Structure 1
């Protein structure tokens, strides 16, 4: 499910009072590490065991925006293959054992602040990093790509050159590191009108399918558009939500959703060609699409009707297919 890396300009340290992650968030990947930053300035760097085995580990390094904020580290063991570790589980840097992790579940552990910082320091160097259980079984953590991910985190949180930087530290004034951006207020939706009996008859009008097809692009295909029945629900006095199956395989069905006028030429606008369901009570469209038949990675998105259009309110799509049911981390890059 790899998404392409988004390139953003380096933000100058201390020029603004709040972290300046773009509104749509940032997703970045290099080798065995991924980075997601939210518009509030919080970032999560996620690393994996080397290779593509399904019985490895994944580690998430969380850090909020602001001066002197610490790292917190969460550790997961893959659950589609391999046995869970036997507690206690310890971080081992080269041959040094750095305290046991706190167990939150058979495959879910948390590192304390000291161990998290030692781990970040090790990732910036050439240290061999392993997690070892009580029976001596070891799971390596890849450092390939970690420096790039942590450097990008420092850039986006505007802490390059400060004592708290993960990678490129210096003596810049730590108090100039900007704090978090406030979260957006939730989107409220007006009540939807009831669907009318005559709305269903519009599904037989070829002009409606033509309007739906015209709203597609080469990057948003819907090959089943002209073969599957249309489902129509009313939104307001003049707009409809029209849906139909776009694609299907052994582990996914993708439904296209359009907002269309209720009379010719229908003037449709595509919301998504990869939807899953419409929650009428919450006026929300949902999409969850597995990226592997094993079910170990999934993209998720939600849109809410604001009275004029469906607005993206949640997107989480940065999950590697590495043996974790539904993916190791459900980390949204966008929440509104």
Structure 2
């Protein structure tokens, strides 16, 4: 199961009465654990082996919003492990064998509701957590940061003080709100065909000046004046202009702007780290590796709504821990 991951600083974790997930979603990280929540209230907490090893494991604990919803656990072994684990693979807590993980693939497992809950309970304490295969090989799971991530999940799902809370339990399960509705998908009008004369605008220095004016220190494009411009028409008076912004041995980052089709070419930046424009779907995609090993990737998509490109997907934080493209494909924003 490939679920997938702005790294927030640790917030003060108090009992906030109404801390529902904001519309843009939440990405949160502390020590060896991360948390991602969609605006619907579905959350995934993801933990890793201790330290920065590239041959460990990662566990994802998912829970939907709403009263009575259980945890679902998934276990993934890093691609850097030379040999896959030998069946069966068991969850062991403080030396006690709790349950056997169910196999999806050679390095991909899931935990049933009982094992997932026992794991959550263990993470809230100081239990030694390991996954052990039939040959006795053991892979530890770090508990550092787990309480912060799970408490944040409880807070955002408004279940602190309820029986299904991961950390601070109580009695009032009826007060837990259900999931928020899914937003309608972004629709886009047909794009106007690109005209032969549009390409000639790439030679106008005023267009590059307009593109440069739309950049910032946080969104630079160092190759703007050294690379050719590509131009696609969006509608009767707006263009999509793109050019390579930077490149290294494992990534090429392309800048995309929406600009007027006549001077002064008023322009707005969509992203300085895009990958390609899909004209058929009217969207810009970005998938950018964060490591030369290829073990972590950020993904975003923006769709043209007839006025501007709006964010429709973001998986913005993934740890580089030896998993191809990152352990879990968990977006914090989907529309």
TM-score, normalised to structure 2's length?
0.96
Partner of 1:198: 197
Q: Flag the 1:157–1:10 CA change in 2: closer, same or farther, 3 A.
A: farther
Q: Flag the 1:6–1:300 CA change in 2: closer, same or farther, 3 A.
A: farther
Q: Flag the 1:206–1:11 CA change in 2: closer, same or farther, 3 A.
A: farther
Question: Cα deviations across residues 51-90 of structure 1 (Å, max 9, x unaligned)?
Answer: 1111100000000001111000000000133321001100
**Distance (whole Å) between structure 1 residues aligned to residue 313 and residue 6 of structure 2:** 18
Partner of 1:239: 238
Partner of 1:61: 61
SS of residue matched to 2:300 = strand
Question: Cα deviations across residues 272-295 of structure 1 (Å, max 9, x unaligned)?
Answer: 000000000000100000000000
Partner of 1:109: 109
Asked if structure 1 preserves the Cα contact closer than 8 Å seen for 2:13 and 2:152, the reply is no
Offset at 1:20? 2.3
Partner of 1:259: 258
Equivalent in 7, 22, 31 of residue 3 of structure 1: 7
Partner of 2:221: 222
Counterpart mapping for 1:1-336 below 5 A: 3-5=7-9, 12-13=16-17, 20-171=20-171, 173-336=172-335
Offset at 1:24? 0.5
**Distance (whole Å) between structure 2 residues aligned to residue 322 and residue 298 of structure 1:** 11
Asked if structure 2 preserves the Cα contact closer than 8 Å seen for 1:65 and 1:178, the reply is yes
SS of residue matched to 1:288 = strand
SS of residue matched to 2:193 = coil
Question: Cα deviations across residues 264-317 of structure 1 (Å, max 9, x unaligned)?
Answer: 000000000000000000001000000000000000000000000000000002
Q: Flag the 1:9–1:165 CA change in 2: closer, same or farther, 3 A.
A: closer
Question: Cα deviations across residues 153-198 of structure 1 (Å, max 9, x unaligned)?
Answer: 0000000011111001122x10110000011111111000100000
Asked if structure 1 preserves the Cα contact closer than 8 Å seen for 2:40 and 2:180, the reply is yes
SS of residue matched to 2:60 = strand
Asked if structure 1 preserves the Cα contact closer than 8 Å seen for 2:120 and 2:166, the reply is yes
TM-score, normalised to structure 1's length?
0.96
SS of residue matched to 1:164 = coil
**Distance (whole Å) between structure 2 residues aligned to residue 56 and residue 28 of structure 1:** 21
**Distance (whole Å) between structure 2 residues aligned to residue 237 and residue 9 of structure 1:** 51
Asked if structure 2 preserves the Cα contact closer than 8 Å seen for 1:289 and 1:298, the reply is yes
Q: Flag the 1:320–1:311 CA change in 2: closer, same or farther, 3 A.
A: same
**Distance (whole Å) between structure 1 residues aligned to residue 126 and residue 80 of structure 2:** 30
Offset at 1:318? 1.8
SS of residue matched to 2:115 = helix
Listed as ranges, the gaps of 5+ residues in structure 1 are none
**Distance (whole Å) between structure 1 residues aligned to residue 15 and residue 280 of structure 2:** 42
**Number of residues paired by the alignment?**
331
**Distance (whole Å) between structure 2 residues aligned to residue 78 and residue 115 of structure 1:** 21
Question: Cα deviations across residues 79-134 of structure 1 (Å, max 9, x unaligned)?
Answer: 13332100110000001101111100000000000000000000000100000000
Q: Flag the 1:234–1:156 CA change in 2: closer, same or farther, 3 A.
A: same
Offset at 1:2? 6.7
Asked if structure 2 preserves the Cα contact closer than 8 Å seen for 1:11 and 1:158, the reply is no
Q: Flag the 1:105–1:118 CA change in 2: closer, same or farther, 3 A.
A: same
Q: Indicate the larger mover: 82-91 or 245-254.
A: 82-91
Offset at 1:11? 7.7
**Distance (whole Å) between structure 2 residues aligned to residue 335 and residue 201 of structure 1:** 37
Offset at 1:9? 9.0
Task: Give the ranges of 4+ consecutive aligned residues of structure 1 lying more than 2 Å apart after TM superposition.
Answer: 1-13
